[in-house]
Amino acid sequence: MKHWLWGLLVVIPALLGGLVAVVFWLGWLPNSVAYLRADLGTLFLLLGLLAAGLLGLEWWRWARAERHKRYFISQLQTETANERHEFLRRLDHELKNPLMAMRAGLANLTGTSLEHQQQEIIDSVETQTLRLSRLLADLRKLAELEIRPLDCAPVDMTDLLQEVVSMTGERPEAEGRHLTLTLPQVPWPLPPVSGDRDLLFLLFHNLLDNALKFTRPGNTIEIRAFEDGARVVVEVADTGAGIPEKEASLVWNELYRGENARGVPGSGIGLALVRAISERHGGEVFLRTRLGQGTVFTLRLPAYQK
C-alpha cells in the first residue's frame, strides 16, 4: 500500500473522533459522562493484550522490512550474476579469436617452407599476442581501480589537457583530423581538480583514443573545458560515425563491442575505465550521440576545494 494511503488511514480515526467530540461539545447531543470500571486482573489483561498487539505490530513491520531487504539482495545477486555471466561471455569471445588465429598460424608455420609466408604468420601471431597483452593489462587496470587508494592532489586541468591533446596530435592515427582544444583564459583559468593525475590522464587519453578510432581524415575532434559552479566540465566531441541509440547505454560495459566497432582495434575496456575513474573521483560521465553525425562525451568532476 502506498505511503500516502497509510497516512490517510491513520488520520481518518482522529478526524472522526474530533467530529463526534465537536457534536457533543456544541450540545447537539447530550454530553453524558461515562465511567469505566474494571478489576485489576482485567486491567492487567487488557494492558498485556495491548502490549502484545503493539509488539506484534512492530514485529510485523520488522519482518516486512526483512523480506524487502532479502528480496532486494536476491535481485542484486541475480543482476550481478547476470552481469558476470555476460562479462565472461564477452571475455571468452575476445580471447577465442586471437587464440584461434595464433593456433592456426603456428599450424601453418610447421607446414610451410616459404620464408615470406613464415614471416606473415609470425607477424600475425605477434599481433594477436600484443592484443591479448593489452586486453589483460586493461582488465588488470580495471580490477585495480576498485581497491587502489587514490593519490589525491590538486591537478592542473589546463596543463593536463594540453599534454593529452599534444600527445594525441603526434600519433599517426590523428593525421588528417582537425584536433582543437578550447580552454577558458579570462577572467580566470580552469580551477584544479582533486585527484590522481595519472588516472585522470588515462581517462582523457582513452576518450581521445576512442574519438580517433571512430573518425576519419577530415573529421573534427574538439575538447572543450569550462567551469560550472563547483564542477569542472570537459567535453570531448567528434564528427565521427556516432553510436546507434540501442548501444548508447551499453558502451560502458567491459568488453562490449558495438556494430560500428567491428574491424576497429581495441579491447572494449577503454570506456569502462573512463567511467570507473570518473566515479572514483566523485564525478560523472555521460554521452550524447547522433548516428552519422558524431558523439559528445561529457565529464563532470568536482573542483578542488582549499
pLDDT digits (tens, 9 = 90+) for 205-243: 989 998 998 899 999 999 999 999 899 999 999 999 888
Burial code (b: 16+ CB inside 10 Å, e: under 16) for 275-305 equals bbbbebbebebebebeeeebbebebbbebbe
Q: Among 225, 252, 246, which residue's Cα sits nearest to residue 237?
A: 225
Instruction: Please name the amino acid found at residue 236.
Output: V
Q: How confident is the model at residue 159 (pLDDT cuts 50, 70, 90)?
A: very high
Measure the CA–CA gap between 41 and 153, rounded to whole angstroms: 72
Q: Does pLDDT of 281 surpass 70? A: yes
8 A C-beta contact, residue 295 and residue 237? yes
pLDDT digits (tens, 9 = 90+) for 87-135: 656 666 666 666 677 666 666 665 555 566 666 666 666 666 666 666 6
Q: Among 234, 235, 232, 255, which residue's Cα sits nearest to residue 301?
A: 232
pLDDT digits (tens, 9 = 90+) for 172-191: 889 999 999 999 988 889 99
Average pLDDT for the chain: 79
Q: Does pLDDT of 138 surpass 80? A: no
